[in-house]
Structure 1
Amino acid sequence: MAGRRAPTAVVLAMVICGLVLAASLTGAAVLRVRSAPANATPGPTPDTTTSASAVTCRREPCRLLGTATVGGTVVELIGDSGLVSGRVRIGGPSGQQVIEMTITDLGVYLDDESLECAPGAVSACLVRGSGDKGTAGQVVVGRSDKWSAQGRAFFSEANYLSLANVDGDSAPEVIAVQLDCASGADCSKRPVYAQVFGLGGQELGCTRLFPRIDQLPGYPKILPTAAQLRDCP
């Protein structure tokens, strides 16, 4: 496949990274990590329901879209009324953080399936949203109760982004399903492959092509093994 074309996933990833950089320079999409206000609602225990009242949103009222517990730390995704902006609220022994996500500046929308977390020595939560061209996601990483957002945006042309531990180490990886299709073509019946990234955005490899997404290893929770990865197309 070398020299045939620039894969759509690579082109779109370059565009997304450019958009994120431009937005950060203008201040529109700067990741803001701040302490929650003193009157913030305490983080819930796993069997309670919380509210989004302690977080401000671009469009009020705020909506609690999802909650996960990672190693005793409660992580909540809070969206605005139009689902076009989102914040992750993280509660732990040392207090609370609120992290604003920037992927919504790429034109994607959040929903009640947008938050996914995976535990580990390095824990991670993925916030993903869908749009006209696919699904974009951003990762928040936790180490010893200290959480930070990663600047890299991940993208899936086939609308599948997830966290999974592919190589059995102390941290999960990001799985993105891509279409083997030239930009501008009808890609509805093209083969697919799983692309694997480290949490920091480094590409670790891709699977071979499969005719359909439901034939990828582990579907519906796609989980290739390290031995199934090769150079990406």
Structure 2
Amino acid sequence: MAGRRAPTAVVLAMVICGLVLTASLTGAAVMRVRSAPANTAPGPTTDPTTSASAVECRRVPCRTLGTASVGGTVVTLKGDSGLVSGRLFIESPSGQQVVEMAVGDLGVYLDDQSLQCAPGAVSACLVSGSGDKGTAGQVVAGRSDKWSALGRAFFSEANYLSLANVDGDTSPEVIAVQQDCASGADCARRPVYAQVFGLGGQELGCTRLYSRIDQLPGYPTVQLTAAMLRDCP
């Protein structure tokens, strides 16, 4: 049986629990949320700089990699000159939040396809990048003007991460495509399967094996239902 999904109330508690959250991914602190409501001085943070030019990115010139609209909230991803780190600018009717996304700490690089967002009672945005060992990503989730970075890194050996509503509830899930292959082996021709997680990182289940990634339902935008999930390998 697939793993149980945490109740929506639990996920909401994770999302709304604070405006400054530092999370560790594989031993590295990679997320920081800084809230700066309109017409209100920002509270103390580990970075006291408040000018707009200073928060664009770590290393200029900055590059806008993607923009998405989730309800009344606009999310923009800006990458630094090395494309190993970036910042999400979350503009809601009540103000702006800035979330630092250092996915480069996971050995990947950002590009023009790095930002995905999906609406829900708890909306979410996934920031991902690709590297030599696959694709890795982080999720920022929330509703209206309350957004937080969640502390789980998601990995795909087959270079496919996405957000989609799999189990028909009120928030999206994360789909990660994996290779059915032993570590260290040549996996290029091995079958693949889709692994599904809740936003908080809990594993919900996996699909059966497919000979190639393009055989997954709906590919290149993989579309799954809860009935397709089973225990993971």
Instruction: Go from structure 1 to structure 2 and tell me whether the alpha carbon gap of 1:101 and 1:219 turns closer, same or farther (over 3 Å shift).
Output: same
State the distance in 2 between where 1:23 and 1:121 align. Answer: 30
Give, in angstroms, the shift of residue 147 of structure 1.
0.5
2:105 aligned counterpart, secondary structure:
helix
1:174-213 equivalence runs, <5 A: 174-213=174-213
Q: Which residue of 1 aligns with 2:136?
A: 136
Code of the aligned partner of 1:163: L
Code of the aligned partner of 1:207: T
CA contact (8 A) 1:123 1:141 kept: yes
- 1:156 counterpart = 2:151: no
Q: Which residue of 1 aligns with 2:60?
A: 60
Give, in angstroms, the shift of residue 36 of structure 1.
4.2
Code of the aligned partner of 1:165: N
Give, in angstroms, the shift of residue 210 of structure 1.
0.4
CA contact (8 A) 1:83 1:109 kept: yes
- 1:121 counterpart = 2:126: no
CA contact (8 A) 1:59 1:82 kept: yes
- Structure 2 gap ranges (5+): 1-23, 40-51
RMSD, matched Cα = 1.7
- 1:229 counterpart = 2:229: yes
Instruction: Go from structure 1 to structure 2 and tell me whether the alpha carbon gap of 1:160 and 1:21 turns closer, same or farther (over 3 Å shift).
Output: closer
Identity among equivalent positions (%) equals 81
Instruction: Go from structure 1 to structure 2 and tell me whether the alpha carbon gap of 1:185 and 1:91 turns closer, same or farther (over 3 Å shift).
Output: same
State the distance in 1 between where 2:193 and 2:173 align. Answer: 16
| Alignment match of 1:22 (pick from 13, 23, 27) | 27
CA contact (8 A) 2:38 2:94 kept: no
1:105 aligned counterpart, secondary structure:
helix
Instruction: Go from structure 1 to structure 2 and tell me whether the alpha carbon gap of 1:107 and 1:188 turns closer, same or farther (over 3 Å shift).
Output: same
Q: More strand by proportion, 1 or 2?
A: 2
1:90 aligned counterpart, secondary structure:
strand
State the distance in 2 between where 1:56 and 1:125 align. Answer: 19
Give, in angstroms, the shift of residue 57 of structure 1.
2.0
Report runs of 4+ in structure 1 exceeding 6 Å deviation: none
1:153 aligned counterpart, secondary structure:
strand
Q: TM-score, normalised by structure 1?
A: 0.81
Q: TM-score, normalised by structure 2?
A: 0.81
Aligned length: 198
Code of the aligned partner of 1:168: G
- Greater length-normalized contact order (CA 8 Å, ≥ 6 residues apart): 2
1:214-225 equivalence runs, <5 A: 214-225=214-225
Code of the aligned partner of 2:121: A
Give, in angstroms, the shift of residue 58 of structure 1.
2.0
Give, in angstroms, the shift of residue 96 of structure 1.
0.1
1:24-39 equivalence runs, <5 A: 24=29, 29=30, 31-36=31-36
Q: More helix by proportion, 1 or 2?
A: 1
State the distance in 2 between where 1:115 and 1:53 align. Answer: 22
State the distance in 1 between where 2:159 and 2:100 align. Answer: 22
- 1:85 counterpart = 2:90: no
